[in-house]
Amino acid sequence: MPDLRPSSPPLVAVIGGGPAGLMAAEALAQAGLAVEVFDAMPSVGRKFLLAGVGGMNITHSEPYPAFVARYAERQGEIDALLRNFDAQALRQWIHGLGIETFVGTSGRVFPRDMKAAPLLRAWLKRLRDSGVVIHTRHRWLGWHDDGSLRIAYPQGERRVKAAAVVLALGGGSWARLGSDGAWQPLLAERAVDISPLQPSNCGFEVEGWSTLLKDKFAGAPLKNIALSVPGSLPRKGEFILTAQGVEGSLVYAWSALVREAINREGRGVLLLDLLPDRPVDKIAEALARPRGSRSMAKHLHSQLGIDGVKAGLLRELTDQATFADPQALARAIKALPITLVRARPLDEAISSAGGVRFEGLDAGLMVKALPGVFCAGEMLDWEAPTGGYLLTACFASGLRAGRAAADWVAGLFHE
């Protein structure tokens, strides 16, 4: 197969066919450039499609100040991206593909049919109609000495000469869908500033549940509860007890703080409120009522409705003296400490933290150490909770990188 070389219009290569890469490709095509997307998997958008299983949560409708605050220490950098493409702009863009959206009761935004596949199909058709060429089973292996790209494909390896490159290779979670983090050494050897990838929106492990708790309750959900970390306000929701520890949406919401506590101190703590709608004094009052010949387990059930996995976890994490003291037990019910010692493996996480640091990029997401190379999406050093925040920032960063790459190429050919 012949080499591809910048001509008229010049070629821009996009490495990675997820939301960030495809959005960059769209921006580049709109600028009149020849765009080719290279993705290692048999089809593009695989993680995007998986995110749509059970309901495609595309973004969130909350007010912008609250929305951008979800990006924590990278709020400033993500704000700069979202100013050009925020949640409302993303919804309008989806509507332009012929897909209607709606706001759910939680404020999350979904396509009308709740599915990712129709949206992706419509988008890919528009991209191909605009001239974007998409190559699957094409894995980027780095650069040749002359700056051309090394691309492995089923028939061997090809050399691609591009005027600019947008890297949108994902983070390190769900390697089977393409986000395997294999790009890290390729960039590190070129002196690109990278923060190590870590799990985000992930489950955690305890030192070890008792055999009784694991055998009886592993996989059981805890509903109508609240979780917090020490010094924070609790959040209501639900999570799941696992054989190793805990996981689920409410755990994911605290995962960044818990992970960093483990990194600093070797452990992190979640405080579980089993009865978030009842004050501690009312709980103590109920527990102090005479129970006669009834066991404490039956007393907890009759007075407070605590049974099943909630009762099992309460018994697991309190000592005999606390369990026998109504005041102490009431305090435990309101703030039961779950000590976590490690995150579950990165490949199990919904997303990853870490990646190419913004400090090594310019305002257009071009790598300062590699002129003409731009980065976008989850391979950048940021993280966010679930709820549409991850996808929104991926889209916005892809748009920024694509537009900046187009400007870069325009500068090269008009000097």
Within 10 angstroms of residue 147's Cβ, the number of other Cβ atoms is 12
Q: Tokens 């089977």 sit at which residue?
A: 176
Measured distance CA(211)–CA(40) in Å, rounded: 43
H-type helices in 71-180, by residue range? Answer: 75-82, 87-96, 117-129
At position 55, the amino acid (one-letter code) is G
pLDDT one digit per residue (tens) for the chain, 415 residues: 334 444 467 899 999 999 999 999 999 999 999 999 999 999 999 999 988 777 899 999 999 999 999 999 999 999 999 999 999 999 999 999 999 999 999 999 999 999 999 999 999 999 999 999 999 999 999 999 999 999 999 999 999 999 999 999 999 998 888 899 999 999 999 999 999 999 999 999 999 999 999 999 999 999 999 999 999 999 999 999 999 999 999 999 999 999 999 999 999 999 999 999 999 999 999 999 988 888 888 889 999 999 999 999 999 999 999 988 899 999 999 999 999 999 999 999 999 999 999 999 999 999 999 999 999 999 999 999 999 999 999 999 999 999 999 999 999 876 5
User: Which CATH superfamily does the domain covering 11-199+349-412 fall into?
Assistant: FAD/NAD(P)-binding domain (3.50.50.60)
Query: What pTM did the predictor assign?
Result: 0.91
Mapped onto helix, strand or coil, the DSSP state of residue 351 is: strand
Residue 386 has phi, psi (to 5 degrees) of -70, 165
Pairing relationship of beta strands 164-167 and 11-15 according to DSSP bridges: parallel
Name residues whose C-beta falls within 8 Å of residue 211's C-beta, 6 or more positions apart in sequence.
none
Is the dihedral angle over the CA atoms 275, 281, 286, 287 positive or is it negative? positive
> Where along the chain do its domains lie?
11-199+349-412, 204-343
